[in-house]
Amino acid sequence: MKNRNKQLTAVLFVLALALAPMVQAAPSPGGGPTRPPANEAPRPDGGPVSLLANDRVSANSEAIPEAPMITIHSTDNVLRGKTGSFVLDMKPALMLGGMYVNFKVSGTAIAGLDYVALVSPAYIGQSGYAVIQVKTLPNPRGSFDRQSYSVVVTLEAGAGYTIGASSSATMWIKP
């Protein structure tokens, strides 16, 4: 019988700890309730305040997590024939999986001529980071063309995330 009482006590203790965040339980110095009961807190019109209604509003506002914010930056410029990178950063990182992020590519460089074409979307994993690699191609215009060409990657809106202040990054392909 003593063993069963210990098991019951342990189960009730675990249950109390699990329910404490839901009912917003917190210890108070006086040992009493941390907020007045519904019938002791009058409304401006004189009626009683329903704590259930107040809890429902606060629970809904807390239940909607903020969407992660995505930013982008370029690691540096790149020489022809080398590989450059754009880094995507997601804050906060998702603990149980990743997310696909849409982007578009522009600039003076031509996909298929100056670099291997990039395909949207990019996948950001649990770490909160993703890399978009830009493989540059040899100069088809010949050695007389010493011009640099730009590759610009711009983040696009999508479901489940917001775009941060750094929404676009530029990389220059150097001769």
CATH of the domain at 113: 2.60.40.2030
pTM: predicted TM-score of the whole model, two decimal places: 0.62
Counting Cβ atoms within 10 Å, is residue 73 exposed (0-12), middle (13-18) or buried (19+)? middle
* Number of domains forming the structure of the chain: 2
The answer to whether residues 70 and 164 touch, using CB atoms and an 8 Å cutoff, is: yes
Q: Are residues 88 and 163 in the same domain?
A: yes
Q: Are residues 32 and 82 in the same domain?
A: no
Q: Are residues 85 and 103 in the same domain?
A: yes
Give me the domain span that covers residue 45: 2-63
Q: Are residues 74 and 51 in the same domain?
A: no
Q: Are residues 59 and 73 in the same domain?
A: no
The predicted-structure confidence for 44-89, as pLDDT tens digits, reads as follows: 555 554 444 444 444 444 545 688 999 999 999 999 999 999 999 9
Q: Are residues 43 and 93 in the same domain?
A: no
